Amino acid sequence: MQTYDMPLPERCVMPGITVVGSGSFAPGEPVPNKALMRVMDTNDEWIRRRTGIEQRHFAGEGQGASDLALEAAKRAIDSAGLTPADIDYIIFCTMTPDYLFPGSGGLLGAKLGIHGVPALDIRQQCAAMPFAFQVADGLCMSGAAQNILVVGAEAHAGFMPWDDWDVVLGKKDGDIPADVHERATRHRGLAVIFGDGAGALVMRRTETEGHGLIGSELHTDGDLYDKIYIEGGGFRRRPYWNDDMFSQELHIPSMDGRDLFRHAVTKLPEVVRSLCDKHGVSLDDIDFFLPHQANDRINQHVAKSLKIPPEKVASNIAKYGNTSGATIPILFDEVYREGKVKRGDLLCFIALGAGLHWGASLMRL
């Protein structure tokens, strides 16, 4: 378990990092649930009832995570009243990078025109934000950075289990070959929940005592790596990619949805309770909860278990599906712009993702 070395009372009064600007971006037109029925056996009623999702967006061919991130980052920097030249560190969160290597952070820096600014890619998938907040806080506290651009961006379209995007997007009618339809249906649990987008936060140390990041509690259990992972394309094999992997569908993530659900509804309430206890914060003191959006039913279970009123739990899964590392910054940007969250509010961020990684952060905005 992660803890800060310095005694808690001292840490609590030192102002941590806060969000001074945010932006988000979703590519293309929304793709409603019924569009997915063109390529696999699923239906709108099942998807809404079991996940809360109504639509999602998909990155276009040739549009990588760094391209989506660029749009969100420009909006975030602008809303902070800064220019790209003011950014002195990038933390880029994605599980769908433009290339296996190098990471997407450097590509984003170049697209923003801030060559030479350090860019760190972190690989915590859907759980990225609580990890990114802790890293950003440490960088600010050590004096290594002042204005950090924390970005989450995902282009999951590349692992969707169908071939004909024009049919999905309704640009053409067409009979899907039976084997292709069957393949997509085999992966339908995964295919219906993920969507693409980017969210960006400009973070810096607050001047206001008692405000900013109060703390994060983070966990990782690598024994659970295979609950959701991509088996193909790894460097434990020679060569690291081959045709068999593709024909065996190893480029498509394997996901044990039911078990992930079970881990999420047990681990997330535990980590929130533990974090609050550590910092002497009561659940009632928290103004708004911003949980990762993997499945609305997960968040309903977590809220029920913590006895949190549903109106204190942010939700936008209906519009975007699960955008993995991009989810929490997109969610923050929306609730802040809608005025649901304001300066001085105590926020709790909660997330679990592939790894498994999970955690929560408390931040007084």
Active-site positions read 126, 292, 322
Q: Are 326 and 152 in contact (CB under 8 A)?
A: yes
Q: Token pair 């067409």 is at which residue?
A: 174
Q: Which residues partner with 288 through β-bridges?
A: 347
Piece of 2-10, 46-54, 232-240, 331-339 that binds ligand UT7 (CB under 6 A): 46-54
Round to whole Å and give the CA distance between 18 and 342. 12
Window 192 to 211, contacts with ligand UT7 (CB under 6 A): 192-193
229 binds ligand UT7 per the rule CB under 6 A: no
> 50: part of which helix (H) or strand (E)?
helix 44-51
**Least gap, CB of 298 to ligand UT7 (angstroms):** 6
Amino acid letter at 284? D
**Least gap, CB of 115 to ligand UT7 (angstroms):** 34
Piece of 39-47, 132-140, 145-153, 205-213 that binds ligand UT7 (CB under 6 A): 39-47
Structure tokens at 56: 């999602």
Q: Residue from 26, 77, 112, 126 that binds ligand UT7 (CB under 6 A)?
A: 126
Whichever of 126 and 286 has its CB closer to ligand UT7, that residue is 126
Whichever of 211 and 267 has its CB closer to ligand UT7, that residue is 267
Q: Please compute, for residue 96, the number of CA atoms within 13 A of its CA located in the half-sphere on the CB side.
A: 30
> 23: part of which helix (H) or strand (E)?
strand 17-25
Whichever of 16 and 161 has its CB closer to ligand UT7, that residue is 161
**Least gap, CB of 120 to ligand UT7 (angstroms):** 22
Whichever of 165 and 261 has its CB closer to ligand UT7, that residue is 261
Q: Which residues partner with 120 through β-bridges?
A: 91
Window 79 to 118, contacts with ligand UT7 (CB under 6 A): none
Phi, psi for residue 159 in degrees, rounded to 5: -110, 10
**Least gap, CB of 16 to ligand UT7 (angstroms):** 27
Round to whole Å and give the CA distance between 324 and 289. 17
Selection from 85, 114, 198 nearest residue 151 by Cα: 198
Instruction: Give the DSSP letter of residue 322.
Output: B
Helix (H, G, I), strand (E, B) or coil at 148: strand
**Least gap, CB of 256 to ligand UT7 (angstroms):** 8
Whichever of 122 and 214 has its CB closer to ligand UT7, that residue is 122
Structure tokens at 301: 């279970």
Q: Residue from 72, 122, 264, 317 that binds ligand UT7 (CB under 6 A)?
A: 264
Whichever of 11 and 262 has its CB closer to ligand UT7, that residue is 262
Residue nearest to ligand UT7 (CB): 257
Q: Residue from 91, 132, 167, 228 that binds ligand UT7 (CB under 6 A)?
A: 228
Round to whole Å and give the CA distance between 279 and 148. 25
Whichever of 50 and 123 has its CB closer to ligand UT7, that residue is 50
Window 241 to 260, contacts with ligand UT7 (CB under 6 A): 257-258, 260
Q: Are 191 and 54 in contact (CB under 8 A)?
A: no
**Least gap, CB of 262 to ligand UT7 (angstroms):** 9
Piece of 165-173, 184-192, 218-226, 273-281 that binds ligand UT7 (CB under 6 A): 184-192
CA-atom Rg of the chain in angstroms: 20
Round to whole Å and give the CA distance between 140 and 126. 24
Taking residues 316 to 355 in sequence order and writing x for each that binds ligand UT7 by CB under 6 A, - otherwise, the string is: ------x------------------------------x--
- Which residues sit at the interface with ligand UT7, rule CB under 6 A? 42, 46-47, 50-51, 126, 188-189, 192-193, 228, 257-258, 260-261, 264, 294-295, 322, 353
